[in-house]
Amino acid sequence: MHNHHNGLKTAALFGGIWALLLAMGWVVAQYMGSSVFILIFALIGVATTAYSYWNSDKLAIKAMKAYPVSEAQAPAMYRIVQELSSRAGQPMPRLYVSPTAAPNAFATGRNPQNAAVCCTEGILGLLDERELRGVLGHELMHVYNRDILTGSVAAAIGGVISTVGQMLSFGMMFGGGRDDERGNPIAGLAMAFLAPLAAVFIQMAISRTREYDADEDGSKLTGDPLALASALRKLDVGTRQAPLAPTPQLQNASHMMIANPFRPQDVSRLMSTHPPMGDRIARLEAMASGHRLG
């Protein structure tokens, strides 16, 4: 459902991260004397990611200490999600609320049949019903666009690159392969250290691209891009006033949230999983005005 340019950008980013993986495989073959290592670490990465993918809803909900809610406990949230799910022709996801004052929301699950939507108590108290509808439309589109799968594949490849980079640098420092098989050690070390960093940057870029898509597609689902723009303005202020501590568990789940939950000084613009709020709001306002999004 996302626009042509963002789809091409995501494909190009995936091509870039796959190119890094192949380059790492070539370097491993040169310095370790065998390509079996890349297969081993690839299998480990895929297995780890498969576990995360199949349990993504449980992991994210646990990280936010969320609890399930019924229609009686969260009537506005339930009514909105039920309406938007029906409009999209998708099953009703499970609903959760996280007992934190930090305003945020996320949706997770490997497919629409196994999806969960979570709002914090902070966002439920901050937004009016129209703004909440805009946020929930955004989150549902992450599930419908299979963004959990996209993020899992990117994380798998990035994890393999990082692991192989560590093994490669260790092997070059302490020996590996025959001397007559080794290439330029400086080039090899550069690849070992820079490729994992480049993979992280690509993962972040993929996540930011998917956020733009969810903004656009969610606004098409609700028919009200200005509602989401208004919600993002409030969230920009709210997350700064009540940030979450960047624990490892929350760092792994932060890319799922509609707004960066951490303080600006805890994450650089380049390493952020979210586009700048100003850019997102401007795109939504252009969408409401009938202008084509970039």
Spans of all domains in the chain: 1-294
Task: Say how far apart CA 175 and CA 168 lie, in whole Å.
Answer: 10
Task: Say how far apart CA 122 and CA 167 lie, in whole Å.
Answer: 43
pLDDT of amino acid 177? 47
The CA-to-CA distance between both ends of the chain, in Å, stands at 15
Q: Which residues of the chain have pLDDT under 70?
A: 1-11, 13-14, 17-18, 21, 25-35, 37-42, 44-46, 48-49, 152, 155-156, 159-160, 163-164, 166-193, 195, 264-272, 291-294
Task: Say how far apart CA 34 and CA 37 lie, in whole Å.
Answer: 7
pTM, to two decimals: 0.79
CA distances from 272 to 164, 209, 216, 243 (A): 24, 12, 20, 15
Other Cβ atoms within 10 Å of 117 Cβ, number: 28
pLDDT of amino acid 246? 81
Residues forming a β-bridge with 114? none
Q: Look up residue 43 and give its two tokens.
A: 């299998």
pLDDT of amino acid 189? 65
Q: For 139-193, write each residue's pLDDT tens digit.
A: 999 999 888 777 767 766 776 677 667 666 665 555 544 444 454 566 566 666 6
Q: Annotated catalytic, 129?
A: no
Residues 6+ apart with CB under 8 A from 203: 17, 154, 155, 158
Residues 6+ apart with CB under 8 A from 18: 157
Task: From the candidates 139, 181, 211, 216, give the one annotated as an active-site residue.
Answer: 139
Task: Say how far apart CA 155 and CA 77 lie, in whole Å.
Answer: 31
